[in-house]
């Protein structure tokens, strides 16, 4: 089975999710349903909220994977250190294999704390490492170096961050006894994840990619990956959520201004806050580098597409798989970046 932010799969049936990690009682009921349906294992995304609120207490994990930790959820956790300590709970409990990313500063901490930790990285010297990385719109190719030898691997997902995630999955699978040859043969079959660097194709001569990037680090990763793919300009549509960590806003403005040739700041789940005030804080980080301000998200997407030419890459960041725009009083209006981008592209002349 599978439980995560984007979707869940229980006994082979895909279902929508309300939160990354369910409440403790709901989680145990889901595990029981998986067992009754014939599932023998579950891959689960465990959020820091869930760990802090003890939703995952009593679960024995056969393997835990630490991918990275970057600024997010500081509306819930008082500091980055407390955010890290919440995540660390996964590793201090009586656990199976501990898999950590040595390219991440926070990942290096459990690696030093637990001598039995298994490491992965692209840049650092790790137990599982990637080299000869080549990435394009169709995916990535790289070589996995491991204690078992070297294996050439292809992945249908582009971007260094997806290669890093694949390495973490590889290390966890090996710890659970899956053969390297089997992993090299099955990784190419891993499908794209909705709203994660998702291409929108309507015959246009430029690329349009929709991604969930809503933190400084994820926005930097996505725009850096887009830069590697672009023949010409990178055009970014991005925003920052209301009633969440305000410290992210100027950072995201700075990143978009630095990494995109054209950056358009727009509304992204303002919730109870004034969306114009949110954009003021975002644009404060741009330092006068000409980030455009288009409050209406649909118009911002249309503006980005209208500016794109052959060989450009348009990145629509922030919502990814989400299907709505959140406003005050809990009001949620339907909005899907992929559908809107598709409508705009279909309306292009010629």
For 10, the 3-state DSSP assignment is strand
N- to C-terminal Cα separation, the chain = 45
Q: Residue 185: how many CB atoms within 10 A of its CB?
A: 12
For 318, the 3-state DSSP assignment is coil
Estimate the crossing angle of helix 216-229 against helix 248-259, to 10 degrees.
10
Query: Domain coordinates of the chain in residue numbers?
Result: 2-189, 198-346
Q: What is the mean pLDDT of residues 335-345?
A: 98
Q: What is the pLDDT of residues 128-156, one digit of tens each?
A: 999 999 999 889 999 999 999 999 999 99
Q: What backbone torsions phi and psi does residue 186 show, to the nearest 5 degrees?
A: -100, -25
> Which pLDDT score is estimated for 94?
66
**Cα-only R_g, the chain:** 20
> Which pLDDT score is estimated for 345?
98
Q: What is the mean pLDDT of residues 303-314?
A: 98
Q: What is the DSSP-derived secondary structure letter of residue 333?
A: E
> Which pLDDT score is estimated for 70?
84
Q: What is the pLDDT of residues 47-70, one digit of tens each?
A: 999 999 999 999 999 999 999 988
Q: What is the mean pLDDT of residues 263-282?
A: 98
Q: Per-residue pLDDT for 350 more than 90? A: no
DSSP letters of 102-166?
Answer: TTSHHHHHHHHH-TT-EEEESSS--SEEEEEEEEETTEEEEEEEETTEEEEEEESS-SHHHHHHH
* Residue ranges of E strands in the chain: 2-3, 8-10, 13-15, 43-44, 63-66, 97-101, 118-121, 128-136, 139-146, 149-155, 198-199, 207-211, 234-238, 262-265, 292-293, 313-317, 324-326, 332-334
Nearest to 341, CA basis, from 308, 310, 311: 308
For 294, the 3-state DSSP assignment is coil
Mean of the per-residue pLDDT values of the chain = 95
Quickly tell me which residue has 């490491």 as its tokens: 119
Q: 190 with 155: CB under 8 angstroms?
A: yes
Q: What is the mean pLDDT of residues 239-248?
A: 95
pLDDT interval class at 290 (50, 70, 90): confident
For domain 198-346, the CATH superfamily is Mur ligase, C-terminal domain (3.90.190.20)
**Domain 2-189's class?**
alpha beta
> Which pLDDT score is estimated for 95?
64
Q: What is the mean pLDDT of residues 194-212?
A: 96
Question: Quick one: which H or E segment has residue 36?
Answer: helix 24-36
Distances (CA, A) of 133 to 129, 169, 257, 347: 11, 17, 27, 37
> Which pLDDT score is estimated for 302?
98
Q: Which residues on neighbouring strands pair with residue 211, listed in sequence order?
A: 317
CA atoms within 13 A on the CB side of 64: 25
> Which pLDDT score is estimated for 100?
97
* Measured distance CA(248)–CA(262) in Å, rounded: 20
Q: Which residues on neighbouring strands pair with residue 2, listed in sequence order?
A: 9, 43
Burial of 89 (0-12, 13-18, 19+ CB in 10 A): middle
């Amino acid at each position: 089975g599978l439980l995560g932010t984007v979707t869940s799969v229980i006994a082979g049936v895909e279902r929508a999710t309300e939160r990354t990690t369910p409440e403790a009682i709901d989680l145990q009921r889901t595990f029981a349903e998986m067992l009754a349906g014939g599932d023998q294992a579950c891959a689960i995304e465990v959020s820091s909220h869930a760990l802090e609120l003890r939703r995952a207490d009593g679960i024995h994990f056969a393997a835990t994977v630490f991918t990275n930790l970057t600024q997010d959820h500081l509306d819930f956790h008082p500091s980055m250190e407390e955010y890290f300590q919440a995540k660390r709970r996964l590793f201090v409990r009586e656990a199976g294999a501990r898999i950590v990313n040595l390219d991440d500063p926070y990942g290096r901490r459990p690696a030093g704390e637990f001598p039995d930790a298994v490491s992965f990285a692209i840049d650092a010297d790790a137990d599982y490492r990637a080299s000869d990385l080549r990435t394009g719109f169709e995916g990535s190719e790289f070589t996995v170096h491991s204690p078992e030898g070297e294996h050439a691997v292809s992945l249908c997902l582009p971007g260094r961050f997806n290669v890093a995630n694949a390495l973490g999955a590889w290390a966890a699978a090996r710890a659970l006894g899956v053969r390297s040859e089997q992993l090299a043969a099955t990784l190419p079959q891993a499908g794209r994840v909705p709203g994660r660097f998702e291409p929108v194709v309507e015959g246009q001569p430029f690329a349009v990619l929709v991604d969930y990037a809503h933190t400084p680090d994820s926005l930097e990763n996505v725009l850096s990956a887009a830069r590697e793919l672009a023949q010409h300009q990178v055009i970014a549509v991005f925003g920052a959520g209301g009633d969440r960590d305000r410290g992210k806003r100027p950072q995201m403005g700075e990143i978009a201004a630095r990494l995109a040739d054209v950056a358009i700041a727009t509304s992204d789940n303002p919730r109870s806050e004034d969306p114009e005030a949110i954009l003021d804080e975002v644009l404060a980080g741009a330092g006068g580098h000409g980030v455009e301000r288009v409050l209406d998200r649909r118009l911002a997407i249309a503006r980005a597409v209208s500016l794109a030419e052959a060989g450009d890459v348009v990145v629509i960041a922030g919502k990814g798989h989400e299907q709505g725009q959140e406003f005050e009083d809990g009001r949620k209006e339907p909005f899907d970046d992929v559908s809107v981008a598709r409508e705009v592209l279909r309306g292009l002349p010629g």
